């Protein structure tokens, strides 16, 4: 089957790319080894930058995020037992929207299918070949039958466990591992706070987020080797109370119905392309979750990539495609810096000395005390315009 673009991976990057290309009259096939139910049921991040919401609304997939997304105009940083508000509306005129990633995916899948889009869920043995030449191929197995796609261009949107990245021969992998993980829970409870709380405590970081008026999302810094079994409900609540409760804040407990451990790393693959293959989203880069940037970066990548592909198909002009890495990377590194900065400011390093802990408090004090400091944090959190 001949097609214009073969897209490996039906996550935020792959589905949004397929949607944006369709709007420019370019047809694609999206492949994923997961089933539709798995994709739509996997709990991930929940914060959309204003840019991401605008992109969804402008391209006709924003009805539900507008209705159901919760717009937040600030966050609270907690340290030393007190809250310090970062007022996004006042500092930047912008905000963020709490709307979980799997809801974005549901919206994109529904729209692609309504538009006659071709998404193959639950395929196996996906192999991309020939990206160096003029005739790339994607082989895969669907319902026991081997099939072949002949795309002009290939997008590797297959997430952090990507196989397409391995096809970029001379690449630099910039990698940083952190000596901790996040323990994430979903609980049936009313919100503990009107806004997200990022708390720095001697026992480690905690984050209070939300999913709806009745479901709350919370995270605790834990050891990277910790397992779900080591954390009873009582232990989770007692740690959350210890790390967050204090002047102006008290966590509301409730039945916990989901527990998971998230690994922490920073990663950038450079270049993000080779021949006719272009990586987008987590296949090209991973950020630690502290800055809430992962899904937003994936959407920003494909915004750039869809325009470059449009120029290629409209005029056989490769200039923008050749410049894809150079165009996308500055935003990626800004998000890497921000995510690393938030992480380092709020987490407890296992070997932190008294000097380190006091320096960290002084940094938080400097950032929250000055309008310039708060503005720097707010501008990065709400995201630079696309
Ligand atoms: C959520 C996740 C994040 O990584 C973050 O920084 C804020 C919120 C969330 O899942 O709600």
| Candidate of 95, 199, 209 to mutate for ligand 1, largest count of ligand atoms within 8 Å of Cβ | 209
Rounded to the nearest whole angstrom, what is the distance from the C-alpha of residue 141 to the centroid of ligand 1? 35
Rounded to the nearest whole angstrom, what is the distance from the C-alpha of residue 172 to the centroid of ligand 1? 29
CB contact at 8 A, 157 and 283: yes
For 364-371, what is the mean pLDDT? 98
Domain boundaries defined on the chain = 2-72+97-177+266-342, 181-264+349-382
Rounded to the nearest whole angstrom, what is the distance from the C-alpha of residue 119 to the centroid of ligand 1? 28
pLDDT higher than 90, residue 49: yes
Start-to-end Cα distance in the chain: 34
pLDDT higher than 90, residue 45: no
Q: Which atom of ligand 1 is nearest to the CA of 209?
A: 11
pLDDT higher than 90, residue 44: no
* Alpha-helix runs per DSSP H in the chain: 12-23, 36-41, 50-58, 63-68, 88-92, 101-114, 233-244, 294-315, 319-322, 324-346, 354-369, 371-382
pLDDT higher than 90, residue 220: yes
Give the homologous superfamily in CATH for domain 181-264+349-382: D-Amino Acid Oxidase, subunit A, domain 2 (3.30.9.10)
For 244-260, what is the mean pLDDT? 96
Rounded to the nearest whole angstrom, what is the distance from the C-alpha of residue 198 to the centroid of ligand 1? 10
Give residue 191's pLDDT. 97
For ligand 1, atom 5, which residue shows the shortest CA distance? Answer: 292
Give residue 39's pLDDT. 97
CB contact at 8 A, 40 and 119: no
CB contact at 8 A, 216 and 208: yes
Query: Buried (b) or exposed (e) across 358-378, using 16+ Cβ within 10 A?
Result: eebeebbeebbeeeebbbebb
Residue 3, SS3 per DSSP: strand
2-72+97-177+266-342 — its CATH code? Answer: 3.50.50.60
CB contact at 8 A, 163 and 56: no
* pLDDT tens profile 129-140: 999 999 999 999
Q: What is the dihedral of CA 371, 376, 377, 383, to 10 degrees?
A: 130
CB contact at 8 A, 140 and 31: yes
What is the C-alpha separation between 242 and 261, in angstroms, rounded? 20
pLDDT-wise least confident of 45-49, 282-286, 323-327: 45-49
* pLDDT classification of 204: cutoffs 50, 70, 90: very high
Q: Ligand 1 pocket by C-beta < 6 Å: which residues?
A: 45-47, 196, 207, 209, 217, 289-290, 292
Residue 378, token pair as written in the block: 């707010």
User: What residues are annotated to the active site?
Assistant: 72, 198, 289, 293, 381
pLDDT higher than 90, residue 276: yes
**Strands 96-98, 206-210: pairing kind:** unpaired
The average confidence (pLDDT) of the chain is 97
**Backbone phi, psi, residue 193, to 5°:** -155, 155
Residue 158, SS3 per DSSP: coil
For 2-31, what is the mean pLDDT? 98
pLDDT higher than 90, residue 352: yes
For ligand 1, atom 7, which residue shows the shortest CA distance? Answer: 292
What is the C-alpha separation between 340 and 289, in angstroms, rounded? 9
What is the C-alpha separation between 145 and 213, in angstroms, rounded? 46
What is the percent of the chain with per-residue pLDDT over 70, rounded to a whole number?
A: 100
Q: Is 316 exposed, middle or buried (CB count within 10 Å of its CB: 0-12, 13-18, 19+)?
A: exposed
Q: Which atom of ligand 1 is nearest to the CA of 210?
A: 11
CB contact at 8 A, 208 and 46: no
Q: Which of 285, 385, 277 is nearest to 321 (CA)?
A: 277
Q: Is 43 exposed, middle or buried (CB count within 10 Å of its CB: 0-12, 13-18, 19+)?
A: middle
* pLDDT classification of 185: cutoffs 50, 70, 90: very high
What is the percent of the chain with per-residue pLDDT over 90, rounded to a whole number?
A: 97
Rounded to the nearest whole angstrom, what is the distance from the C-alpha of residue 102 to the centroid of ligand 1? 13
CB contact at 8 A, 240 and 220: yes
For ligand 1, atom 6, which residue shows the shortest CA distance? Answer: 292
pLDDT higher than 90, residue 100: yes
């Amino acid at each position: 089957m001949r097609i214009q673009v073969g897209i490996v991976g039906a996550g935020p990057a792959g589905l949004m790319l397929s949607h944006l290309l369709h709007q420019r009259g370019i047809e694609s096939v999206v492949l994923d080894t997961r089933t539709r139910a798995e994709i739509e049921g996997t709990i991930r991040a929940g914060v959309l930058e204003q840019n991401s919401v605008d992109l969804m609304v402008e391209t006709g997939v924003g009805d539900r995020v507008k209705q159901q997304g919760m717009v937040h105009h600030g966050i609270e940083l907690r340290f030393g037992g007190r809250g310090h508000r970062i007022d996004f509306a006042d500092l930047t005129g912008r905000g963020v929207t709490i709307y979980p990633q799997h809801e974005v995916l549901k919206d994109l899948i529904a729209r692609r299918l309504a538009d006659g889009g071709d998404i193959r869920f639950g395929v196996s043995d996906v192999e991309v070949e020939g990206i160096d030449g003029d005739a790339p191929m994607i082989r895969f197995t669907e319902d026991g039958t081997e099939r072949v796609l002949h795309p002009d261009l290939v997008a590797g949107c297959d997430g952090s466990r990507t196989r397409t990245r391995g096809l970029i021969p001379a690449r630099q992998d910039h990698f940083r591992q952190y000596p901790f993980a996040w323990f994430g829970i979903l609980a049936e409870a009313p919100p503990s706070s009107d806004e997200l709380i990022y708390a720095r405590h001697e026992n480690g970081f905690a984050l209070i987020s939300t999913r709806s008026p009745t479901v709350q999302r919370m995270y605790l810094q834990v050891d990277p080797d910790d397992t779900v079994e080591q954390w009873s409900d009582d232990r989770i609540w007692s740690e959350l109370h210890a790390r967050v409760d204090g002047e102006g804040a008290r966590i509301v407990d409730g039945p916990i119905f989901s527990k998971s451990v998230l690994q922490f790393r920073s990663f950038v693959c450079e270049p993000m392309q080779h021949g006719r293959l272009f990586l987008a989203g987590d296949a090209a880069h991973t950020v630690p979750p502290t800055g809430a940037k992962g899904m937003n970066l994936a959407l920003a990548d494909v915004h750039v990539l869809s325009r470059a592909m449009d120029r290629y198909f409209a005029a056989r002009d490769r200039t923008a495609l050749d410049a894809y890495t150079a165009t996308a990377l500055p935003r990626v590194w800004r998000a890497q810096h921000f995510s690393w900065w938030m992480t380092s400011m709020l987490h407890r390093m296992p070997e932190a000395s008294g000097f380190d802990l006091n320096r960290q408090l002084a940094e938080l004090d400097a950032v929250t005390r000055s309008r310039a400091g708060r503005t720097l944090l707010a501008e990065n959190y709400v995201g630079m315009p696309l």
